[in-house]
Chain A
Amino acid sequence: MLSESVFCLLTEDLLIRILDRVNSDRKSLRLVCKEFHRVESTTRKTIRILRIEFLLGLLQKYCNIESLDLSVCPRIDDGAVSVLLSHGSVNWTRRIKRLVLSRATGLGYVGLEMLIRACPLLEAVDVSHCCGYGDREASALSCAVRLKELNMDKCLGVTDIGLAKIAVGCSKLESLSLKWCLEISDLGIDLLSKKCLELKFLDVSYLKVTSESLRSIASLLKLEVFIMVGCYLVDDVGLRFLEKGCPLLKAIDVSRCNCVSPSGLLSVISGHEGLEQMDARYCLSELSAPLINGLKNLNHLNIIRINGVRVSDFILQIIGTNCKSLVELGLSKCIGVTNMGIMQVVSGCGNLKTLDLTCCRSITDVAISTIANSCPNLACLKLESCDMVTEVGLYQLGLSCLMLEELDLTDCSGVNDIALKYISRCSELVRLKLGLCTNISDIGLAHIACNCTKLTELDLYRCVRIGDDGLAALATGCNKLTMLNLSYCNRMTDTGLKCISNLGELSDLELRAIPNITSIGIKAVAINCKRLANLDLKHCEKINDSGFWALAFYAQNLLQL
């Protein structure tokens, strides 16, 4: 045993390397000793401030941060920024590359401009959901000359004038998101396309732009991802402009564009055989023959989402034969999905990781078995309302798809306890939805609790046969649970709730209309579930004031009740 600590011999750079490899939050290590504190302070690169009173002190200590997140820091406003920048040393601004100010509605254009001018290396800014932001704030943003990424979703006041300022000031922009900036029109987009030639990612969802905007956007030679969800004024004419433009286009999203038809989509496909991602959810009613033929050339497609469209076995066969690199297929609410069609598409697309068959009610166990046998890498399977699926199909799933992380069986009345036993073999499961599966009981839940230890989200909405025993098993086996929905599970009592209180990571809990729980149970949850943020207690008649007092006292993180 050494008389002096060996730690004194470790050089600073070795300590830095050790701390760099610590995977958890390093905050508590600061308290170990002065050396740890100093090293941690100089090497920390990102920080997310939770309380404004610590802001100044923390920023003075962490002078090497590159990313500053003030989105959950209440009461950030121009005055606070002014104090921040005038007090003492402002070394902390010199390396900042990323600023997250999402929902920081208190900050106005004066403070924003001060902050931006103070950070010379700024490359990425997120001001999404600052709904009051307009052209003056856009003008402040345009001071960031090196800006590459900008997110202005829901900055409702920004008009073409503000966008023009940004286009002129930030010519190096590579990624721009303008969702819901309803005042922007074709003029703004045109100027953007002429000035920001480095753009790779552009999101104009829900804007009132017309096909003329697409004429301008087609000239963006480096554009790779183009998203225009809900642009109801754009039609096939616009998509035809894209056919010969944006040569590097890899991903397109025309979901919910009512005026787009298969012919418009075909134009985009014809020009871009390297397309990797195609989203056309809820906009087409069916796929025309030329469009289906066009799909044959898309050998690099990874993701296809065509929710709501009418398909056929033939169409699915074409996809299975030609789109061998397919990793994700979305057929939610599609008409005409049959067992045969599914079998044809999965036998060709063995690399599928995500398959969405929500409301494809004709699917039976035969299809599930084929999916299981053909797609061993399956990570996400959505079968909401596929009520003909039973334990027979799910047996195969539990046998072959051991990488499964997400499974949605909401409203699948064929699911019973045996089915849950088979599913529990998928030990990587993280999200499981069993809402409205009225045939499952505590026995089935115990199987899941035993083997699916990585579970973080579980939905048991209206699973009326679940009771305290099942919850006890759950609390022991699935201690990583963060979201739990037990609404209408009316057999539950305070005993069950006390078991739930052992889930230390729980942040979202829904307990609607559970008649037998009282304040005693709620108090246990309030004391022990320290991360509880969202709690739904509607129609729980027996909970009285003492329950709410306990919540007010103990639940420090509660955001919504």
Chain B
Amino acid sequence: MAEEKSQASSSKMLTLKASDGVLFEVELNIAKEMKTVQAYIDDCEDIETIPIPNVLGKHLAIVIEYIKKTNEEYDAEFEKQWNMDDLQLLLLAANYLNISGLQECLCKAIAKRIENKSPEYVRKVFNIENDHSPEEEAKLRKEYKWAFEGVDKD
């Protein structure tokens, strides 16, 4: 304990525990990018292991990697690797951990994937069911008939 206190704070390591028990050792300055973790540290100074109950180990690993490497080039390539489910879970993680750069990057990535696509495509991509009744849907389609111009081929 005393040893750790005498070290410079930038090289102090912190442990984050994901919801499935996986542990990650990260440097303090990386962990501080997650505002939620920062708040935790501010509250209890001597904490060593911080529980992150809402995020799976797999996603926490990706988030930490992002914080370490983020720059324009990395961001542009980053979002191409993940499917829509992962993107959404990462967004939820970034939201919980309060990392604004990552939230922005992920919102843009998801938006880009649904731009100019038909409703059927968007449903498939998000894996959601159409809960409009057939009458409602027919009415909406009629009202917004012009909405279908300019849609990409799926």
Contact = CB atoms under 8 A, between A and B. Distances in A.
A28 B119 contact: yes
Interface in A53-81: 54, 57-58
A531 to B, nearest CB: 7
A198 B148 CA distance: 44
B110 interface: yes
Contacts of A22: 111, 114-115
Contacts of A54: 143
B111 A57 contact: no
Nearest to B84: A6
Contacts of B147: 25, 27-28, 30-31
B126 A5 contact: yes
A30 B92 CA distance: 23
Contacts of A8: 128
A34 B132 contact: yes
Given A5-B126, A5-B128, A14-B107, A31 B85 contact: no
B119 A24 contact: no
Given A5-B126, A32-B128, A58 B143 contact: yes
A559 interface: no
Most chain A CB inside 10 Å of its own CB: which residue of B84, B146, B148, B151: B146
B149 A530 contact: yes
B148 A6 contact: no
A31 B141 contact: yes
B116 A7 contact: no
B119 to A, nearest CB: 4
B132 A28 contact: no
Interface string B49-62: 00000000000000
Interface string B61-98: 00000000000000000000000110011011001000
B38 to A, nearest CB: 21
B29 interface: no
Most A C-beta atoms less than 10 A away, residue of B95, B112, B128: B128
B154 to A, nearest CB: 12
Given A5-B126, A21-B108, A50-B146, A29 B88 contact: no
B131 A33 contact: yes
B131 A9 contact: no
Nearest to A2: B85
Interface string A1-22: 0100111111100100111111
A560 interface: no
Contact of B122 (A9, A20, A29, A37): A29
A32 B143 contact: no
A28 B115 CA distance: 10
Given A18-B107, A28-B118, A33-B132, A6 B127 contact: yes
A23 interface: yes
B46 interface: no
Nearest to B140: A31
A50 B143 CA distance: 11
B123 interface: yes
Contacts of A14: 91-92, 95, 107
Contact of A25 (B88, B111, B150): B150
B76 to A, nearest CB: 15
Contacts of A27: 144, 146-147
Interface residues of B, number: 39
B98 to A, nearest CB: 13
A6 B89 contact: yes
A459 to B, nearest CB: 25
B137 interface: yes
Given A9-B92, A10-B92, A14-B91, A29 B150 contact: no
A20 to B, nearest CB: 8
A28 B128 contact: no
Contacts of B149: 530-531
A10 B107 contact: no
A206 to B, nearest CB: 36
Nearest to A58: B143
B134 to A, nearest CB: 12
Contacts of A18: 107, 110-111, 114
A23 B89 CA distance: 23
Instruction: Give the interface centre of B114, B118, B119 by most chain A CB atoms within 10 Å.
Output: B114
B130 A21 contact: no
B3 interface: no
Given A10-B91, A27-B147, A58-B143, A33 B116 contact: no
B126 to A, nearest CB: 4
Contacts of B117: 28
Nearest to A4: B127
B43 interface: no
Contacts of A37: 132, 140
B135 interface: no
B111 A10 contact: no
A30 B144 contact: yes
A31 B150 contact: no
B129 interface: yes
Contacts of B129: 5, 33
Nearest to B147: A27
Nearest to B54: A9
30 contacts: A2-B127, A6-B88, A6-B127, A7-B88, A7-B128, A9-B88, A9-B92, A14-B107, A18-B114, A21-B108, A21-B111, A21-B112, A22-B114, A25-B147, A25-B150, A27-B144, A28-B144, A28-B147, A28-B151, A29-B119, A29-B122, A30-B119, A31-B137, A31-B147, A32-B128, A34-B131, A34-B132, A37-B132, A57-B143, A58-B143
Given A8-B128, A32-B119, A531-B149, 8 more contacts: A14-B92, A28-B117, A28-B119, A29-B119, A31-B140, A32-B126, A33-B129, A36-B122
3 closest A-B pairs by CB: A27-B147, A21-B111, A31-B119
